Amino acid sequence: MNENEANFAPVSIPEAQRMVDEWIRTIGVRYFSELTNLAILTEEVGELARIMARTYGDQSFKKSDLGKNLGEEMADVLWVLICLANQTGVDMNKAFLESMEKKTKRDKDRHQNNSKLK
């Protein structure tokens, strides 16, 4: 663990939603509209995809890509997703747990029996 990592405590999903909401209300003035945030989310996912394609795919880095941080790009996606959840009244903790339960029930045997994964 490096020096910077030691300064960060884990954050729960509800705490992350609260932190983003507090930041928006005190520093960001207000949330962008839901549709604007959806467009921003798409843009952030595109930036993440660009770094993934250059780091793990076949594309080479361009000068403009150098210095981009994969973790920062993922955090940007998470930030906007949390904004959308806050704006639309979605409890991300509950939604995540329900999604895990759904996937576990639905895919209990599916991946274990997938010869492509073995």
Provide DSSP, 79-109: HHHHHHHHHHT--HHHHHHHHHHHHHHHTTT
Return d(Cα 11, Cα 6) in angstroms, integer. Answer: 14
Q: Identify which of 114, 82, 106 has the alpha carbon closest to the alpha carbon of residue 18.
A: 82
The verdict on residue 102 lying in a domain is no
What is the predicted pLDDT for the residue at 118? 83
CA distances from 115 to 26, 103, 104, 107, 110 (A): 52, 19, 19, 14, 10
- Give me 30's structure tokens: 């207000």
pLDDT for res 3: 56
CATH code of residue 18: 1.10.287.1080
The verdict on residue 104 lying in a domain is no
Number of domains making up the chain:
1
Q: Running along the chain, 118 residues long, what does each successive block of 10 average in pLDDT?
A: 70 98 96 98 97 91 84 97 98 98 91 86
Q: What is the pLDDT of residue 49?
A: 95
